[in-house]
Chains A and B, each alone.
Chain A
């Protein structure tokens, strides 16, 4: 069996039109007409599903678009570390959903994590 964990992430929003404007193609974004419940804060050490991550070519320029669209960074853009030129940042959409922008793909991400953890052993 093969599983592709990349189909969609479902977000609950308070204003669907605003969310669609923000994501531009938010086909998997839901708005509940009833019951109307406020979106809770996405405190990373308290929620279950913490965030989702997006691969981008250039983190600062994507962050600029995020901010122009009404989102915000949770902290300044960081270097991923080691010898990688990759960068990342945690952002919030206008409802406070947290997402991560990264400029590295999976293999590079794994390589960086392993390099930063000398005891880590990669499963073939």
Chain B
């Protein structure tokens, strides 16, 4: 069985038009399918009988975000908590973290902490945790998945060396 964990991340929003604007302006997402109201059929089974939901599908250079605005039942979107939520955040690879962060902030998002380098090493790739306007947390990273694994292993090895010293 091959499984690729790259299809999409689904986010709930209270305003699907505003959310799709944010992701197109912040990270150059492309609205592949514009917001459309869906209900009945398997949506009753997915989300409960009588559910009415607007869905919009945005694609990126890789991966996608699927936005859901529940019209019925309507409920506030909780801001993410990294220590309390089940699904904490998702990661996005960008070529330049400060430049991408500037776009995020211009589009109405914000950073949760200053831009850091992995392990605090001068030569390591940069990363930052951000929030969209509704509080969904995502991480901007200047490294691929393979490079991330290398960086984490390097950090752990250095921590071991420091502990042994």
Contacts and interface: CB of A to CB of B under 8 A. Distances in A.
Contacts, number: 218
Contacts of A12: 82-83, 85-88
Interface in A94-124: 95-97, 100, 102, 105-106, 109-110, 113-114, 117, 119-123
A123 B90 CA distance: 25
B9 A1 contact: no
B46 A5 contact: no
Interface stretch (B25-33, B107-115, B157-165): B25-33
Contact of A3 (B36, B89, B93): B93
A46 B51 CA distance: 13
B36 A117 contact: yes
A3 B60 contact: yes
B19 to A, nearest CB: 11
B30 A49 contact: no
Interface of B: 1-12, 27-34, 36, 42, 45-48, 51, 55, 57, 59-66, 68, 70, 73, 75, 77-80, 82-96, 99-100, 103, 134-136, 139, 141, 144-145, 148-149, 152
27 contacts: A1-B94, A1-B99, A1-B100, A2-B60, A4-B63, A5-B9, A6-B60, A6-B63, A7-B148, A9-B89, A12-B82, A27-B149, A40-B85, A44-B47, A45-B73, A47-B78, A53-B9, A53-B66, A62-B1, A74-B46, A75-B42, A97-B87, A105-B7, A106-B7, A106-B64, A110-B32, A113-B36
